[in-house]
Each structure stands twice: as C-alpha cells, then as structure tokens.
A and B are shown apart, each in its own frame.
Chain A
Amino acid sequence: MLVTVTESEKSVPGSSDRLHLAVALDGTGWHPASWREPDARPAALLTAGYWTDLVAEAERGLLDFVTVEDGLALQSEHPLRADDRTDRVRGRLDATLIAARVAPRTRHIGLVPTVIATHTEPFHASKAVATLDYVSSGRAGVRIQVTASPEAAGHFGRRTMPDPDLLSEAADYVEVIRRLWDSWEDDAEIRDVATGRFVDRTKLHYVDFEGPWFSVKGPSITPRPPQGQPIVAALGHVDAAYRLIASSADVGFITPHDAAETTTTVEAIAAHRGDQPPVRVFADLVVFLDDTTAAARSRRDRLDEAAGRALRSDAEIFVGTPAELADLLVQWHDAGADGFRLRPASLPHDLLQITDGLVPELRARGLFRTSYAANSLRESLGLSRPANRYSTAATS
C-alpha cells in the first residue's frame, strides 16, 4: 500500500524576493536563421565542447539551470511530419546524454534535459535522471514533454497512440518515475558483514504501478538519487497542461504575454495544485538582446530576413536591452512568476547578453544571487529534500 508523504516541502525563507533564471538551450538558438549568425557554431552542434561551453557560460552567470530540448523526430516546421527543408538546423543529440556529458565539467548549475514520455519507458527515464543526479551531485531535473507527431510514432511503430490522452499518460509516467526514485530508502544500503547482507530489503519497495498504458513493478535498479526527487518540469499553454504541472511538476514553464496573463496563469496552476507545496512557475520568453534597442531590432530583422519570414513563437518575443528586459521581468515577477526561462534567439550572442548584461542589472536591483550558495538544484529553487513516500520512519 502506498504511504503518502507526511513531511511537506517548505520554502526556504528569505528567497522569495529574488527571481530565478534559466536558459533554454536548443541548437544554435530559437530563431531558425540563428545558425547563420557570425558567432554561431552550427558545425559544432554534435560535439561535447559546444554544449560544455554554453552551460559553463550560463554557470558563469550564476543561473539556476539550463534546459536542453529534445525530440524523437527530425526537427521540422511542419507540426506533423518532416518538412524536407535544408536551410534550417537538422539533427540533434540525446538531451539527457548532453546533460550527463556536461555535468562533470560544471559544479553548480542545474541540468534539465527534455524526456519525451510518449514513446519511452518510464523505468529507463527514472534511472537515467537519477544517474544524472549522481553524476552532477544533486543538480538534475527533467522536463517532461509529449508528442502527438505521427512521424515520431512511426519511428517506434508498435503502439497505438493514447491521443487525446497524451497528458494523462505523461502524468502516469511522472508518477512512475517519482515512485521509482523513492523505491529505495536513503539508508537501504547497510553492508552488514555479520549477516552477510548488503541491503536491508525492507527498505526496498515495489512501486506496483498499474495504468492503462503501462504497468511497472519496481523497485528501481538505481538507489534514491542525492536530491531524493530530482526536479520535474513541464511546459503548458492550456488548462489541461496546467493540471499536469499542478499534479506532477516542481517547476512549470508558461507562456504569458503580459503581467496580467502571468497572474491568471499562476493562479490557475495554484488552484489546481490545492494545498500541496507550490509549484515554481517560470515564464518563458524568447529574447533578442543588444546594448541598444535599435541594435536588437535590427538583429531580429536581419534574422527574420535570412529565415524568409518573421519569427513566430508560443512565448512572448522580447526585443531590447538587458535593462529593458529587467524592467519587464520585475513586473512579471511582481505579477506572480517565480522565475524566467529565457530562450536565446541566437547562441552564444543572447546568452552572453544575459550573463554579462541582464544578470548584473538584476543583481544591482537586489533581485539575483551574487554567488551559488545552494548544494542542490532543489535547494537553489527553495525546495527542501522531500521525505520518501515509502519511508517506514516517516509513518512511525
């Protein structure tokens, strides 16, 4: 029988006036023509050095974490199938492995790769993220994404799609990976020479999950990771996704277009969340940053022209100076956003504008850290290490 969590997560006092910053890494940036920029490194996209340099730069800026995008199909501007374009970045590496490769070369920054729940095994995902937490000493998270693409389904070829229930399947997926993280109690390894026992098997737990899409017995093959529960994140644009964020995530990414919408969305998620500890809500923004507003605009225009059309995005597109962006972030922060996940229009340019421009600007206003103090990603987000849902100690 399931034992419910009895020790609630508490916010770390004194951190709520500061805002959190993350950067979303994808290819050479979020503008489709970004790879043609003078400082872009499109030929290095498949190398470890490319990703290590970007994450190290984000760490230099003391950001909370980076996310790494992923997908189970070739990138495409068509929502359902390959677009056969040859003028865009195509091809990518597995995001979890990029994060793992970068982990030993960084020390403080959180690493949040995307995992696609729709066609993959929650058992594999759970141990992969747990292991990322081990190799990064407590800096792992995972952004859960679904895909309705028939192209991706054709790559797996065996399953009928749970559409339109992709999000319910994702909720089950998160439930399984979370149970598996807890399937070992922290002190399960005992190495008791007298009795010859390496583990106390009463501290290993079957997760016994059964659902419409999969059943998973457990326990995990990997012991409980350093953070206990690595961070789970999800992006939402609609109420069904807000429900997933509220039920399953520690961090929600949302795409408001002004302060009022920020408040509405944060409140919608909070209402679904009920009396559980709050979700950390990050607003997503695509950013074109330069030293002057005119320079930022002209760069956007240049990129749009090279791409053959104006950039479209689900998220608000910000074009301006780091100081102007700081003004906007302060407003949205006051409106309820805990933090921001910035999507650089082009890399490394907009990342450098964030670390060299935006971060000092926010710091001058007392809104951003001056050094890394936390020992884990959870801690840097003001989240405590959760009690184990199966812990016998917690219920005694």
Chain B
Amino acid sequence: MTKPLKQIHLAAHFPGVNNTTVWSDPASGSHIDFGSFVHFAKTAERGKFDFMFLAEGLRLREQGGEIYDLDVVGRPDTFTVLAALAAVTDRLGLTGTINSTFNEPYEVARQFASLDHLSDGRAAWNVVTSWDAFTGENFRRGGYLAEDQRYQRAESFLTAAHTLFDSWRGDEVVADKESGVFLGDAAAGSFAYSDDHFDISGRFNVPRSPQGRPVVFQAGDSDHGREFAAASADAIFSRHGTLEDGQAFYADVKGRLAKYGRRHDQLLILPAATFVLGDTDAEAAEIAQEVRLAQVSPQTAIKFLEQLWNRDLSDHDPDGPLPAVDPVVGENTIARGRASVRMYRDPVATAHEWRARAEAEGLTSRELIVEVTGRQNFVGSPQTVAERIDYLVQADASDGFILVPHVTPGGLDPFVDRVVPLLQERGTFRSEYEGTTLRDHLGLAAPARSEDATSAV
C-alpha cells in the first residue's frame, strides 16, 4: 500500500517591497492602486488558491542613512485592503501580516474579528515581531526589545488576543424582538489578561466571528520560533523550499506537535516559493536568468554588497571583482529596517566564501550577487513545475507553497492558467472550493475555545 496522495495547498503572496519584485518589467503595474489588488486576488481565486498573503513593514527601509530607493517602495494598510478585497472575492482566504510589537491586543483582536465577520470566515493573521528602535520611531510604543523579549511579547500578545476572541462563545446575540432580549448573557465579552507585557481587562466588543479565531501563521525559524509555532500556530510561512532543507524543517516542526497534543495535520508548513515558467525547460531557464539580472541591477548589486560589508561601497564597480577589504564587524549600521542583514552571522567568513567563489568561477560582483541571492524555486515548463511541486509535497518537504510572483499584478496569471490545471489533473489540487472558510480550505478544525476568558490570569 502506498500512502494516500496529499492535497496541495497553494497561496499567493502579493509581490513585496524587495528586489524579488521586478518593477522595471514593462508589464509591471501599480503596487498601490486597488485595481492591482483586485486583479491579483481574483486570479488567485480563479486558481482556487487557499489564500492570498500580504506582508507588512512599518518603516521605509534605509541604507547609508538614506531611504532605500532601488526596490518597490510603499504599500497600503493591511487590514483596510483585505477588508476591501473581501468585497470582490467569495472564497479566497485573506492573510495579513500584523506586527505584535507596535500594536495592542484589543485593537488587533477587534480588527481580525471584524475582518473575519466581513469576509464570512476568511481571515488569517501572520504574527510577526519587530526588532528595532528604528521602526519604533513611528509609534507611541517606540523603543527596542531584546530578541528573547520580542518572542515573549509575541507569545503574550497572541495569548491575549486568543483570550479576547474566546471571550464570546458565539451564541450570546439573541436579538429577539418579541421578548426584547438582545444579549443572552449580560457578561458576554468579559475578559482579563495579565502577564509581564500586558495587564488588560474589561469587555471585548466584537462578538465571536465565523472562524472563532483567525487562522494563525508564524514565520519564526529559530528553535524558539519553531516551538512557539508547534504550540499555537495553524500554519508556518517558512523559507525552506528545497527538498532536503524542506524535509528537515517539516520533520522537525511536525515532530514537536505531539507534546502539545496536536495532530500532524493541525499545523501546515507552507514555504514561500518563486517561479519562472517557459514553454520548455530550456526557455524557462533562459527567462529565469533574465529575471535574475533584472532583480539585481548594477545599483542593487552594490547595495547587497554594502549589506554584508556593512560599509559604503558606492564607488565600487559592480562589473569588477568583489571588494578587497573585509566587512566592518559589529552592529549593522548600513542597512536599516531590513530583516535579512541579521542572517549574516559571520560577515567576514561569508565575504571570504564569496570572494573564493567569484575567483574560482570568474564572476563579477554583480554576477556573484545574482548567484548567491534568491534564485527562483521553480523554473521550467508548466509540466515540470507541476511535477516538482507535487513531488515536494508528497515527499513531505511541505504541505504546499506560498507563491511569490515577480511582476505585479499579472505575475500569477500564467501559473493559474498553465500549472494549476495540471495539478488538478494529477488529482492533488482542488478543482472547486469545497468549503467557505479559510479553515475549510486548509483542512483545519474549528479552534477549541478556552471556556474561561479569565483563565490566563
């Protein structure tokens, strides 16, 4: 007996404010006009995707003390655009990234509960934290949180929000005109939550929403982040999209579920994935290389070097060899508002590796950056890409993918038109939505409600 085929979950990430998005493409449209979001969401819904995904950043990025101007800059407010998209879609899940550092649980809980009501049960929350006082300069909350404090606050925030969601059972609104009873419970919405980060109590003012709670995503990758996800998330937005890497991550995180009394299918692993399609694999590979060059303009290549080197390299020739000097060690002061710089744990060692590789392969600075940063996950004909996605899911490297097109808003269209039908033919992706809520699409049960909204105290 072979094991039954897994059903693939697909989602669409609206192209972001980073160099993956090729704004110089002639087909590239507005990143702000609502029409772009409508096109993107309707395409995803036409493809029967589980959901669309919006990232968030709360301060414009800077490099060398100036606003970073080489990537797409600017985006709408997450909640507002998702609520508007609920009006032009019927089934598509609506996932918003919302920061737990520069918000308060009462407000975020009422926004997600409202979005869930207004979309008939399609809201999801990707919970993230911020790391720096740089972003804090835009907020009352301000200030800096040490990394362990950030996770603590995120966990506290999520627990507080769950306390608020659960403060209504869902049957309190009776609205019986005859008897004059509107609320069946005079204490509906009562809550109290207190810990090191929050001390709040009172009455939550949004009755229980269709999904009970929004679907919760985590993006954390550290040991602590994985544990947090295993304990409380419905899905993980991961960056482990390759076979071995994906399988290792998948096994690790799913292996942590049992201790929280959760089943294997109660936490979905959904890596981000970019793609380039062609009529043939060879044509796709050619286009993929063109896309990489568009993603790494000469100016962008220099900025990438500066992020690792942590120094001004504006005079460096992108078409020459890598800088001969070593990176400046210590706090990264050159690039601000950017999570990726934290990935370079040992910049000097990384610079040496890059230099060795550039010399061995005869690569210029720009060509090296093209090689070492973000190659596309799926490159090939529709057939090749469909097979690869199915293979990775069946091999437990993931439960599906959050696709990141590189052109706004039409970049998803060829995938929906050409790859989705092949996946449907394979019997591993839905041809019609079966349920109405995002939990239905993801195969997640309604969340267990904690009976006493004051139990966290």
Interface residues of A (CB under 8 A from B): 35-38, 40, 42-43, 46-48, 52, 71-75, 82, 84-94, 96-98, 100-105, 119-121, 123-124, 127-128, 130-132, 134-135, 137, 151-152, 154-159, 184, 189, 191, 193, 195-201, 204, 213-219, 221-223, 306
Assembled-state Cα–Cα distance A20/B75 (Å): 33
| CB–CB A193/B24 < 8 A | yes
In the complex where A91-B207, A92-B206 touch, is A72 in contact with B80 (Cβ < 8 A)?
no
- A97 and B177 in contact (CB under 8 A), knowing A104-B88, A123-B138, A195-B299? no
Partner of B106, one of A37, A47, A84, A156: A156
Q: How far is the CB of B30 from chain A (nearest CB, A)?
A: 9
CA distance A38 to B87 in the complex (A): 28
B102 surroundings in chain A (CB, below 8 A): 121, 123
- Give the residue among B77, B84, B188, B201 with the most A Cβ atoms within 10 A: B77
Q: Is B74 an interface residue (CB 8 A)?
A: yes
A100 in contact with B81 (CB, 8 Å): yes
- Tell whether A120 pairs with B107 under 8 Å between CB atoms, given A221-B60, A306-B180: yes
A and B contact pairs by CB, cutoff 8 A, 26 listed: A36-B180, A48-B86, A73-B202, A90-B188, A91-B188, A91-B207, A94-B110, A94-B111, A96-B80, A100-B81, A103-B87, A127-B80, A132-B80, A135-B81, A154-B201, A155-B106, A196-B299, A198-B23, A198-B70, A199-B69, A201-B66, A204-B60, A217-B59, A221-B74, A222-B74, A222-B75
Interface hit among B112-120, B308-316, B345-353: B112-120
Instruction: Tell whether, in the assembled complex, residue A196 and residue B70 are in contact, meaning their CB atoms are under 8 Å apart.
Output: yes
Chain B stretch 53-97: residues in CB contact (< 8 A) with chain A: 57-60, 66-67, 69-77, 79-81, 83-84, 86-88
B67, B83, B107 pick with most chain A CB within 10 angstroms? B83
Q: Which residues of B contact A123 (CB under 8 A)?
A: 58, 102, 138-139
- With A and B bound together, what is the CA distance between A221 and B173 in angstroms? 39
> B338 at the A/B interface (Cβ < 8 Å)?
no
Residues of chain B within 8 A (CB-CB) of A158 are 104, 198-199
Q: Does B189 contact A (CB under 8 A)?
A: yes
Chain A residue, CB-CB nearest to B38: A104
Contacts of B72 in A (CB 8 A): 198
Residues in A with CB closer than 8 Å to B57 are 221
Q: How many residues of chain B get a CB closer than 8 Å to chain A's CBs?
A: 78
Q: Does B418 belong to the interface (CB within 8 Å)?
A: no
Option from A152, A196, A222 in Cβ contact (under 8 Å) with B297: A196
Docked complex Cα distance between A256 and B59 (Å): 43
8 new A-B contacts, CB < 8 A, other than A42-B182, A72-B107, A98-B118, are A38-B177, A87-B180, A90-B173, A123-B58, A127-B77, A151-B203, A157-B199, A199-B67
For the complex, give the distance between the alpha carbons of A121 and B119 in Å.
25
Given known pairs A198-B73, A204-B67, A222-B76, the reply for A97 and B198 (CB within 8 Å) is: no
Task: Take A97-B111, A97-B115 as given contacts and tell me if A221 and B59 are in contact as well, using a CB distance cutoff of 8 Å.
Answer: yes
Q: Which of B58, B60, B118, B209 contacts A101 (CB 8 A)?
A: B118
Residue of A whose beta carbon sits closest to that of B193: A157
Q: Check B298 for interface membership: any CB of A closer than 8 A.
A: yes
| Separation of A219 and B204 alpha carbons in the complex (Å) | 33
Contacting pair B84 A191 (CB below 8 A): no
Please give, as numbers and ranges, the residues of chain B lying within 8 Å of A218 by CB-CB distance: 138
Q: Restricting to B120-175, which residues have a CB under 8 Å from any CB of A?
A: 120, 137-142, 168, 173, 175
Find out whether the CB atom of A134 lies under 8 angstroms from the CB atom of B33: yes
A86 close to B181 (CB less than 8 A): yes
Please state if B32 and A124 are interface contacts (CB–CB under 8 Å): no
Which chain A positions have C-beta within 8 A of B113? 93
Q: Given known contacts A74-B203, A91-B173, is B106 in contact with A128 (CB within 8 Å)?
A: no
| Set of chain A residues within 8 Å of B300, measured between Cβ atoms | 196
Say yes or no: is B34 at the interface (Cβ < 8 Å to chain A): yes
Q: A200 to B183, Cβ gap below 8 A? A: no
A119 contact set on B, CB distance < 8 A: 104, 107
Residues of A contacting B76 with CB < 8 Å?
Answer: 127, 130-131, 134-135, 222
A104-B87, A123-B58 are contacts. A198–B117 as well, Cβ < 8 Å? no
Docked-complex contact B84 and A101, CB < 8 angstroms: yes
> Contact partner of A191 among B23, B103, B117, B139, CB < 8 A?
B23
* Docked CA distance A218–B102 (Å): 14
B456 at the interface (CB under 8 A from A): no
Instruction: Tell me the bound Cα distance from A235 to B430 in angstroms.
Output: 51
Residues of chain B lying within 8 A (CB to CB) of residue A215 = 137, 142
Task: State A223–B118 Cα separation when bound (angstroms).
Answer: 26
A74 touches B139 (CB 8 A): no
- Assess whether A87 is in contact with B32, with CB atoms less than 8 Å apart: no
Query: Does B446 touch A at the CB level, under 8 Å?
Result: no
Query: Would B114 and A121 count as touching, CB distance under 8 A?
Result: no
Q: Which of B34, B67, B114, B186 contacts A135 (CB 8 A)?
A: B34
Q: Contacts A42-B177, A86-B181, A121-B102 known; A91 to B139 CB distance under 8 Å? A: no
Cα of A97 to Cα of B77 in the assembled complex, Å: 11
B282 at the binding interface (Cβ < 8 Å): no
Question: Does B175 contact A43, Cβ atoms closer than 8 Å?
Answer: yes
**How far is B118's CA from A216's CA once the two chains are assembled, in angstroms?**
31
Contacts of B80 in A (CB 8 A): 96-97, 100, 127-128, 131-132, 135
Question: Which residues of B from 181 to 200 have beta carbons under 8 Å from A?
Answer: 181-189, 198-200
State whether the Cβ of B205 lies closer than 8 Å to any Cβ in chain A: yes
Residues of B within 8 Å of A193, CB to CB, are 24
Given contacts A48-B86, A306-B180, contact A93 B118 (CB under 8 A): yes
Does A35 contact B182, Cβ atoms closer than 8 Å? yes
Rounded to whole angstroms, the CA-CA distance of A46 and B207 in the bound complex is 8
CB distance from A396 to the nearest CB of B (A): 22
Cα A54 to Cα B168 in complex, Å, equals 27
Contact (Cβ within 8 A) B87 A86: no
Contacts of B59 in A (CB 8 A): 217, 221
* The 4 nearest A-B residue pairs measured at CB: A196-B299, A100-B83, A135-B84, A217-B137
Give the residue of A75, A86, A92, A214 whose beta carbon is less than 8 angstroms from that of B139: A214
Chain B residue nearest to A106 (CB atoms) is B87
A35 to B183, CA, bound (A): 12
Which residues of B have CB within 8 Å of A131? 76-77, 80-81, 84
When distances are taken between beta carbons in the complex, the residues of chain B under 8 Å from A155 are 106, 200-202, 204
Distance A151 CA – B106 CA, assembled complex (angstroms): 12
* Contact mask for chain B residues 313-325; partner A; CB cutoff 8 A; 1 contact, 0 none: 0000000000000
A140 to chain B: closest CB distance in Å?
Answer: 9
- In the complex the two chains form, is A103's CB within 8 Å of B207's CB? no
